[in-house]
Structure 1
Amino acid sequence: MPLYNYVCDDCGPFEEWVSMQDALSACACPQCEEQSNRDVAAPRLSLMNGKLRRALARSEASGTEPKVVKKAHLNGCGCALCKIGNKPTPTRKKWSIGH
């Protein structure tokens, strides 16, 4: 069961362990027993190990659209990316103009 945040209008915020199927329903405040709505809470990612967090971010990014690289593309296929590094050298020299 996950831990959810709730906000009581009279008593303020509190946390409660609630099953996922009952997560959308209101929860009774432990002090005044009034029904309180669930509060939006940010995930506690700062508690996670930094290396694990980066690995999870990489796996999520590559899960839907993996990066595909083909060797034929890198062999000078003529696309805009290949033309960036392979500029032809000019045959005319600036100093020889007019001679």
Structure 2
Amino acid sequence: MPTYGYICPDCGPFERFRPMAESAEPSDCPGCGTTAPRVILTAPRMAMMDAGARTAHATNEKAAHSPDFSTKASRNAGGHGPGCSCCASNKKPSRAVYTADGSKTFPSARPWMISH
């Protein structure tokens, strides 16, 4: 639940955890019980979040009408990290060996495994 700020005319500012459905409603002061209106006292606490949560929030806020598309130009622009399999220039050749009947085997990797 988010934290909302309120200001009591007698006791001063206070904060309360409330559901988002009740965000616009006033709250009772914990000190004197007077109904207090909601006010914005602090900025959202995005700076104190861990990087994963910030990235998730940023991803959720992206517009649905402008999604990211993967194109060859965007992959060559350095959009992927090192070792990316789709655009790496130093791809290793496959160790698979194809037999006459079309089956595939890896003779040097794990000889005890049955190919599928």
TM-score (norm 1): 0.52
Structure 2 counterpart of 1:2: 2
Q: Report the alpha carbon displacement of residue 2 of structure 1 after superposing the two structures with TM.
A: 3.1
Unmatched 5+ residue regions in structure 2?
73-116
Structure 1 counterpart of 2:24: 24
Unmatched 5+ residue regions in structure 1?
72-99
Q: Report the alpha carbon displacement of residue 70 of structure 1 after superposing the two structures with TM.
A: 5.6
Q: Relative to structure 1, is the Cα distance of residues 29 and 62 closer, same or farther in structure 2, using a 3 angstrom cutoff?
A: closer
Q: Report the alpha carbon displacement of residue 62 of structure 1 after superposing the two structures with TM.
A: 5.9
Structure 1 counterpart of 2:54: 53
Q: Report the alpha carbon displacement of residue 69 of structure 1 after superposing the two structures with TM.
A: 6.4
The 5 Å alignment of 1:1-99 reads: 1-40=1-40, 41-54=42-55, 56-58=57-59, 60-61=61-62, 63-68=64-69
Matched residue of 1:21: which SS? helix
For each residue in 1:15-50, what CA deviation from the matched residue of structure 2 results, as whole angstroms up to 9, or x when unmatched?
122233332221111112211111124221112113
CA RMSD of aligned residues (A): 2.7
Q: Relative to structure 1, is the Cα distance of residues 15 and 55 closer, same or farther in structure 2, using a 3 angstrom cutoff?
A: closer
Matched residue of 1:31: which SS? coil
Moved over 6 A (4+): none
Q: Which amino acid aligns with 2:48?
A: L
Matched residue of 1:24: which SS? coil
- Identity, % of aligned pairs? 37
Matched residue of 1:47: which SS? coil
Matched residue of 1:61: which SS? coil
Q: How many residues align?
A: 71
